[in-house]
Chains A and B, each alone.
Chain A
Amino acid sequence: MFSFASLFSLSSLGLTGTNLSLLYISIILGVIAIVLFYFYFRVIPAKEYLHEQAEAAGYDRPNEYVREKLADKPRELSWRIFLYDDSKSIGLRYLFTSILFLFIAGSFGVLMRVSLTEPNPTIIGPAQYNVLMTEHATLMIYMFALGAALGLGLYLLPSHLKLKKDTMGVYTSMAYWIWLAGGIFILISRAALRWYFYPPLSLELTQSGGGEFAWLAVLGLELIFIGLMIVSVAIIKVIAFDRSPDIKLNQMSLFTWSILFTVIMAISSAPPLMVGLGMMFYDYFNPIFFITGTNTLLFTILFWFWGHPIVYMAIIPYFGLIYEILPRFTGNKVYSYNSGVWGLGLLLILSELVWGHHLLNSGLGIAWITFFTTMSFLVVIPSAITVFNFIGTLWTAKSIRMTVPMLFVINGIIDFIIGGITGVMQSFAPFNEQVHGTYWVTGHFHFIFIGITMGISFAAFYMLFPTFTGGRKYNVSLARWHFALTAFGSYLMAFSWSVGGFLGMPRAVAGYFGFFQGYQDASIIGGVIIGIGQIIFLYNIAVSWLKAPSTSPDNAFEEDNTGGGRAPSLSGGK
């Protein structure tokens, strides 16, 4: 066989047998993918498919054609749906893929919970636990949180911006496939790197290291970044240049603002880690950067410069969605549009300056610790602006319709307040010294991720369900059960973690000391309750979709479907 091995000295990588053939397969598949992309964009005229159909039916604008002609018709089931390059199709692809990964990664989370019924690892071993934890964290944040945010953004932005022409669909469609390939790489790599990918762990292709295929996870993450960069640039271009002249900047919906801040954050903070991952992949062949390098904190800094913004990127778009959902069910406008924009914008700026609080115990020095601690406290200001804006909107409402999306929103606000306060507490350096590496941290971010990221995704999904399904209603009582179990389970789980973690329960290990049995048991019950809630959600989708359409398929996030002459979104400025 033609020897790539001699070319790249793969033997030094420890790649032999299966691993080596897997690398060959990866290279061959990569070449095939490049050829397919070429055909996709140059040979197959699918990118004009919808436009052609619309023109054939006598429509100038594909969106109008879709709304009027295809709204109550089932789309033909064709492989071409994977090649549609209109923003809404791509958004749906992102959204449903992210929900798929939510269930994959969520099932790993429930499995981890169940495995901790006894202090010593009995059901699954530490090696499997490490893999489950890594996959749960990495897939949740990159495939679910990021995917759902981008999906909802791509789905809602064209109507919020009254796009005349969607010119970036080709690139976002390609970005979707790159992003998906990255997620699949990470899934099949079964790496045990945590989501940090710290060297030297990630460079040790052994059981106790990052796992034999850890390099595949590094490749996968780099692919996700490439996809993210493409879609971010496309979204900025759409918002900045392609929006209708009717929509002034100060009329853009708050959701559009949140997506804009998110993609700006992605572009401004991801490149260091993209370079870092490239250096790390080079280290597999010739370890010159992170093993033999003198600065042991180099990779952690490259990582957290991205690592903190990414967790805000899993929050800010959902704040935007809350701003869209609240007016729908309270009947009044957002309390303060300007403070909403400024709150989200300040979150963008400050979140880029607080990454060091993940390294408070790593010896950055007192000056940097003071800086990062101060910045972390300052983040409270825009967070509070946003939360008080939510509360103000609710406070001034004449009546609040407690629909399922509204329940998720209110629960999300409460969870964010709890998780936010526990988060600010641990940015205090002496306190961090105690709770660093304990379940306190896990409890903090699960309050926020389940309450905001997951809960608001479900709220948006429920609101859009009639649109997705052509006018079908979801079963409200099942959806309420879904909400109740998710909210109660997540509260029980995260609260038990916070208390146990405060007492010193170490996180991210396959076992625990018997002293913590009670906190672990409570969180297991909470985790299983969440899992049962999601099964109800799946059942609800399947059953409700089987029913006949009984409501309007209009997009609940678009205002101009119901009333004329106003901003095309619920939260737009005056």
Chain B
Amino acid sequence: MREALTAAIADIREEDALELTQQMLDAGEDPREILEACREGMALVGARYEEKDYFLPELIVAGDVLKAIAEIVKPLLQGDGEGADTLATIVIGTVEGDIHDVGKDIVAFMLDSNNFEVIDLGVDVPASKFIEEIETRQPEIVAMSGFLTLAFDQMKNTVAAIDEAGLRDRVKIMIGGAPMDDTVTKYIGADAYGTDASAAVTLAKSWVGGS
């Protein structure tokens, strides 16, 4: 059944995936098996996206499927020390003043499917929220999204605030969204920028030594 779930996720068969999840639980299978199927399925989705066979709609629906499965499975895993085998923790959000989430959601999804523990703060996230999450969740990486070039200033402010809070050297910061380059990255004070979701994954892996 695990293979069937992996395939259902990879093929974006939403109803099948949820049904299989329920069947696995009813059959008494380990919820971690379900999560593993999700991870494998997502890896396939990511690969098909890379190959250009998949496009935005598949990623968005796959993200929704994952969320739905997680809601069923996560309560059963309480106290299970989640994230034991993740590569690193990443806090991600679209900065204050910007409310675009499609691109940020895809990056979050791709990171998640590549074994990162992703804490998604949503959109229009003030600097104080990033700081709070860095303090409580101790992430290795912060990913900031801004679709508007105007968001660059808010990204810069956010990095400055993280610095002022004395947390700057505890995290690597990546930025993405609007067209960016090294000059922008330097202006904002981030460590690197990415042009798409796979770039974000490559960057994150290079920072934490995953492959």
A and B, one complex?
Answer: no
Interface of A toward B, CB cutoff 8 Å:
none
